[in-house]
Amino acid sequence: MSKVRLGCSQLRISLPVFVALEKGLFKKHGLSVDLTMYETAQPLMADLLDKKIDIGGYTALPITYDGVISTRKKLYYLTTMIEDQDHRVSYLLKSSQSTLKKVSDLKGCKIGILPTHAYRSWLDVILKKNGLEKNVVIEEIPPHAQMNALASGQVDALFTNDPMATTIVKKKLGKLFSAENEALDNIKNPLPFGSFNVSKEWADKNPKMFKNLALALDEAVVFTNQNPEEAKQFMKNYIAKEYQDFVKEMPDAKYLKTEESPLSLFQHVEEDYLKLGVLEQSPRSIWFGCGWRFDGKIGSKLHVSKLTASHQNNADEKLIFKDLSFGVQPGEIVGIFGPNGSGKSTLLRTLAGFHQADAGSVQFPEVGIHQTELSYVSQNYRESFFNWASLRGNIKLVMNNEQDADNVIDETLKAIGLDLDLSLKPKQCSGGMLQQAAILRAFCKNPSVFLADEPFSALDVDVVRKVRQAFSNFVRSNNIAAVLVLHNLEDMLEVCDRLIVVNGTPFSTKKLKGFAPMSIFENERLNTISKKKAKPIQFDKIIQNMLALS
């Protein structure tokens, strides 16, 4: 059983955590939880970023973003809590006797808020939209003091969440400010409220635990969505006594599983928050840096969505591709085929994260995927070898000199069937040998996704057939999703299942009409064209043929 320090707030937003604890889901997935409870998510986030806990949630996204921006520490996000009309989370309350009707009536009043960055910034937005920026007094009131504060008239209104809000309403100490949901009306509807967070450091050190945590949380989320009443009962053991009698009355909760929480969802919230002034700067550079492990569609190992990228040449910006979307299944080899300068390598480098995309996302949806499970063979494979080490030393280096590195290398070499002397130094090797070594090195990392730029270009004619066959077998038997940039039609026909035909820049999904199963192509016809070695390859003609056939 692996120990993990978990933090959660004593609020309803932590429901999946309570469910996972009560139903033993963490234990089921091999996690021994050392639980720390917090009154709100604000100190929880501070402790998470301060490494006092390893994982924690749920936290409202403004708290998360604010913490990430101010500390520049990286987090991974699992699952999402959604607030919509049927799944209320935030409440603007007034005292039972209050005659206030509209938000604009709050002019000159005192409003109590849950002491978090999220509630403060959301209230600021609501007030600003109602022209009350400077005409109200805002007071932070901790959860345990909120009932009294509203009942005693210490504040005229209270902006908070459950279990306090429902308890106040049911005890008739206060009532909803209006029939509207002020947060949804003024901020976003539906509102991705918050996420469960994991410190990147912990996740990177404990990839298996990370995966198990995601599985446990996903199970808890499914249970919470499907059995809302039962889930709410689990809250009783974790919230203060005065709220326990009202758990049944609280609204049902809605959570999205990890795989249903795409990067785009968080990006849209971020964009809205930037517009609304909830955020002053984007945390995107930070989260892009850490990789979005659990994003994307179920099924594919690599999912590219509306990807756009360009090249900056001095003052000119050249659009290379726009709104490119495709997915690659496990064990599938997709080829990118097109003339020189069409942006094939840029696309591959963007997928690998070496070229910054202008928009869109590259997602690795498989649960547990770690960035190290992405392997890449560069077009400049010669330059990627360190001259001071042997080929074996170079491969061991990227394996962090793991204890069983030698065994893995030997087994992979045997599995691929390459004939390589790994004791040679790079300078003693031919281009073909280095290219084979680069492929071997990429496979030794046990990748889920394999990207390669012209991986067979330097191989001799008699070697290339053997390597292509071995490569193809290895990818399929190990369920690797592979994307290859290819220039040679024979390579393409031999190894690829599908093809992205690129014809000029900028290319986009609309132009990728040749993206179809290879089986529909007339292989013989393409072979015929490839055999005309005296003539340059006529891409336009080939593409036209492909389009006609598809």
- Alpha-carbon distance 373 to 449, whole Å? 7
State in angstroms the smallest separation of the CB of 435 from another protein. Answer: 13
Positions 5 through 34 that interact with another protein (CB under 8 A): none
- How many residues are given for the chain? 550
Mask of contacts with another protein, 351-380, x by CB under 8 A?
-xxx----------------xx-xxx-x-x
Residue closer to another protein, measured from CB, 138 or 389: 389
Compute the least distance from the CB of residue 425 to another protein, in Å: 11
HEC-encoded secondary structure of 226-240: HCHHHHHHHHHHCCC
- The residue assigned the tokens 């040449």 is 313
340 CB burial (10 A radius; 0-12, 13-18, 19+): exposed
Rg (CA), the chain: 28
Burial of 227 (0-12, 13-18, 19+ CB in 10 A): middle
DSSP H or E stretch at residue 77: strand 75-83
Exposure on the CB side of residue 413, measured as CA atoms within 13 A: 15
Bridge-based pairing of strands 449-453 and 481-486 is: parallel
The reply to whether 204 sits near another protein by the rule CB under 8 A is yes
Between residue 92 and residue 121, which ones bind another protein under the rule CB under 8 A?
none
User: Is residue 151 a contact point for another protein (CB under 8 A)?
Assistant: no
Measured from the Cβ of residue 217, the count of other Cβ atoms closer than 10 Å reads 26
* 74 binds another protein, rule: CB under 8 A: no
Please select the residue that binds another protein; options are 46, 389, 424, 470, rule is CB under 8 A: 389
Binding mask 399-418 for another protein (x = CB under 8 A): xxx-----------------
**Site for another protein (CB under 8 A): which residue of 99, 387, 403, 519?**
387
Write down the least CB distance from residue 447 to another protein, Å.
Answer: 10
Among 86, 312, 388, 461, binds another protein (CB under 8 A): 388
| Residue selected from 280, 316, 383, 524 as contacting another protein according to rule CB under 8 A | 383
Residues 6+ apart with CB under 8 A from 520: 549, 550
In this structure, what DSSP letter does residue 385 have?
S
Rounded Cα gap, residues 401 and 399, in angstroms: 5
| CB nearer another protein, residue 362 or residue 399 | 399
* Contact flag: residue 199 with another protein (CB under 8 A): no
Q: Which is nearer to another protein, 401 or 538 (CB)?
A: 401
Nearest approach in angstroms of CB 272 to another protein is 32
The answer to whether residue 534 forms part of the interface with another protein (CB under 8 A) is: no
Q: Hey, what amino acid is at 243?
A: Y
Identify which of residues 110 and 425 has a Cβ nearer to another protein in the complex.
425
Stretch that binds another protein, among 156-164, 216-224, 349-357, 359-367 (CB under 8 A): 349-357
Say which DSSP state 104 is in.
G
Structural contact between residues 93 and 169, judged by C-beta atoms closer than 8 angstroms: yes
d(CA 69, CA 49): 11
CB of 389 to another protein, least distance (A): 7
Per CB under 8 A, 398 contacts another protein: yes
Of 152, 386, 421, 528, which lies in the binding site for another protein, with binding defined by CB under 8 A? 386
Pick between residue 328 and residue 444 the one whose CB is nearest to another protein: 444
Cβ atoms 258, 79 nearer than 8 A = yes
Binding site for another protein (CB under 8 A): 204, 352-354, 371-372, 374-376, 378, 380-381, 383-389, 397-401, 445
